[in-house]
A and B are shown apart, each in its own frame.
Chain A
């Protein structure tokens, strides 16, 4: 079950996804293209709400169908048109829907700069006044979905990125402890190489998995204040941004990655980065909370790495300014389109309720944001992540999400070039700055 596979890839990525795409897919019902928006307004007698989500297979799909039905039963006159879509397709259609102005009433939103753009364009409903209670419950986790103090969406799943590894292969290479510093990490690489095991897979073909390395180095090198200032000023002047690239350059120079990593896909098929980890061809991969679910989908027995699945945090960097334990992550939130009826907001509140979030957690559909659902998470690896997330001093949103697609895209491109040995740490900063200047 993968609720929030990341994909900065939009429309055409789906072409590539054809290969063997990331998320499962089922037969969604008729994709409603928001034909209800017109008759909504202010809660008359009969209201239809369109809801787009990406839990389009198996239990997750069934669960959301049930949730919608329960809400309908409790609110006579309200009909919810559910469209479960393949993740990449949903991104494409959402883009198109926003362009045509024919938006679904409730949709998934990743927050950050992407949300800011939509808010500026007047596409998203300000729900601050209606969701006060829910904000108290989920606390600071909603920060990524607030613009100028107003709340535009409620995150229902928030995960963090770290190294997923194959316990068996680590054992085979004689590695007993997971690394906590980069010196230890390089020792691990040496041991794996010595044992004839490819250490790391990375889906640099999709760019964002490669970019996560730089994001994390930046998170270790830059203080929280520096990051916040940069997000506000869009001036990448602090030297820590360059140091992040230097750390990454050193890692790339050690050549720990799978053959062909420059065109390897992130999650689609057995030869993707996740597929290589799932089938025991590499020892580890840097990825988010979705990884166990993805790996299960990529192995025939549906188990992924099963018992051999392990997780450790991105190691600390010596002399970095970053807060110890700070985590890189991101999540998905429910947002309502600007002209959605009030019932849509009610439904979003219901989706964040203890009851719905507990069911969500029981099915391991993601990492719930409502603390009441914390104990319902059954998967041990996810439970471990939840702890890491909740003990982190702060969770930094993926930088491409944080800065928005234009700047984030330029950043990711430059980072991918560094992986190919064709860009310097300074180039990453320069090209990101150039894209940021175009935004001002």
Chain B
């Protein structure tokens, strides 16, 4: 990733994010033997076990759970889920989570792609130094600075108990990884495209706007999903900053599980339901993610 020889960069690289191009041609080598499915089954089992315990636990009564924690619902009970869905709290928390995660994601994607563009495609002195700043950002865990962060957000910026007060710092902490992923992705877009655009009289900003942005959609989806999931799952900062009706789902899970400490099945149901939005978001975007990360790891 050194900027050592810009001229060499001009030699045609392998054309571009080739997920789209490669997939149709992709052929599995050899025919999978049955043990491949056995292996797949084992992987699925261990991956989903804890999740299924939660999901299925939500369909059981507390008495069933107490009798045999590993059992199957008998009979199936839907009250746990219905109670959660019919309560207003769940929806209120979901709205806050969606709003904050969306704000944070938009910020991350917009700022991230803007920052990654010159880092990937401009030649200027100090470029690697600038990139190093973003890499260094990876080294700061949010936990380290959470108390000073809290003080700055509430006192200096007066953003306590607001959506923005959570979304802005979350975006900041997600930016380093975003830029690190997006830069190689943008680098992989062939120079020829840019040169052609220049010949047509399009400036670099025009190129960014009209060609690069559409082409880098998979990369943006990838970092967007990572940012969304990160924001969705965050606990510590929302705990410090949000109160009352502004709370997010993880805080809601915490409250629910403490309020209904004896209602294990209800806690399972609430927990399961709160996982769903992030899962859906991931599922809808997951096809693009592999393509997006591919750009990142090809570096």
Binding site for B on A (CB under 8 A): 11-12, 14-15, 17-31, 33, 57, 83, 85-86, 89, 92-93, 96, 99-102, 268-270, 275, 279, 297-300, 302
Contacts and interface: CB of A to CB of B under 8 A. Distances in A.
Given A28-B243, A30-B244, A89-B239, A99 B259 contact: no
B147 A99 contact: yes
B258 interface: yes
A100 B243 contact: no
B155 A25 contact: no
A333 B253 CA distance: 30
Contact of B262 (A57, A86, A297): A297
B154 interface: yes
B259 A24 contact: yes
A275 B257 CA distance: 14
Given A15-B235, A20-B264, 15 more contacts: A14-B254, A17-B258, A18-B254, A19-B257, A20-B267, A27-B244, A33-B154, A33-B160, A83-B244, A86-B255, A92-B239, A92-B240, A270-B262, A298-B261, A299-B262
Contacts of A17: 254, 258
A21 B258 contact: yes
Nearest to A24: B259
Contacts of B147: 96, 99
Interface string B264-279: 1001000000000000
B239 A102 contact: no
Nearest to A294: B261
Contacts, number: 103
Contacts of A14: 239, 254
Nearest to A56: B259
Contacts of A12: 236
A299 B260 CA distance: 10
A15 B255 contact: no
A269 B154 contact: no
A83 B243 contact: yes
B243 A11 contact: no
B240 A21 contact: no
25 contacts: A15-B235, A15-B236, A17-B254, A18-B235, A18-B253, A18-B254, A20-B261, A24-B261, A25-B254, A25-B259, A27-B244, A29-B244, A30-B161, A30-B244, A83-B243, A86-B254, A86-B258, A96-B147, A99-B150, A100-B151, A100-B155, A269-B261, A270-B261, A270-B264, A297-B262
A12 B244 CA distance: 19
Contact of A21 (B62, B235, B261): B261
Nearest to B235: A15
B89 interface: yes
A11 B254 contact: no
B96 to A, nearest CB: 13
A25 B235 CA distance: 17
A33 B261 CA distance: 28
Interface of B: 62-63, 66, 89, 147, 150-151, 154-155, 160-161, 235-236, 239-240, 243-245, 250, 253-259, 261-264, 267
A52 to B, nearest CB: 10
A31 B244 contact: yes
Say whether chain A's binding surface is mostly helix, strand, loop, or mixed.
loop
B235 A31 contact: no
A300 B240 CA distance: 31
A275 to B, nearest CB: 8
Say whether chain B's binding surface is mostly helix, strand, loop, or mixed.
helix
Contacts of A11: 236, 239-240
A20 B271 CA distance: 11
Report, nearest first, the 5 A-B pairs whose CB atoms are least far apart: A31-B243, A21-B258, A25-B255, A30-B244, A25-B259
Given A20-B267, A25-B258, A30 B253 contact: no
Contacts of A33: 154, 160-161, 243
A12 B267 CA distance: 20
Contacts of B267: 20
Contacts of B151: 96, 99-100
Contacts of B261: 20-22, 24, 268-270, 275, 297-298
Contacts of A93: 240, 243
A14 B257 CA distance: 12
A93 B244 CA distance: 13
A14 B147 CA distance: 15
B279 to A, nearest CB: 19
Given A99-B147, A270-B262, A270-B264, A18 B240 contact: no
Contacts of A23: 258
A96 B253 contact: no
A100 B258 contact: no
Contacts of A30: 161, 243-245
Contacts of A300: 62-63, 262-263
A268 B258 contact: yes
B161 A18 contact: no
A201 to B, nearest CB: 16
Nearest to A274: B261
Contacts of B264: 20, 269-270
B273 to A, nearest CB: 15
A86 B244 CA distance: 11
A122 B244 CA distance: 29
Contacts of B161: 30-31, 33
B175 to A, nearest CB: 24
A21 B254 contact: yes
Contact of B89 (A27, A101, A299): A27
B257 A18 contact: yes
Nearest to B146: A11
A259 to B, nearest CB: 15
Contacts of B150: 96, 99-100
A403 to B, nearest CB: 23
Given A14-B239, A33-B161, A96-B150, A57 B259 contact: yes
B111 to A, nearest CB: 27
A20 B257 contact: yes
B240 A96 contact: yes
B257 A21 contact: yes
Contacts of B263: 300
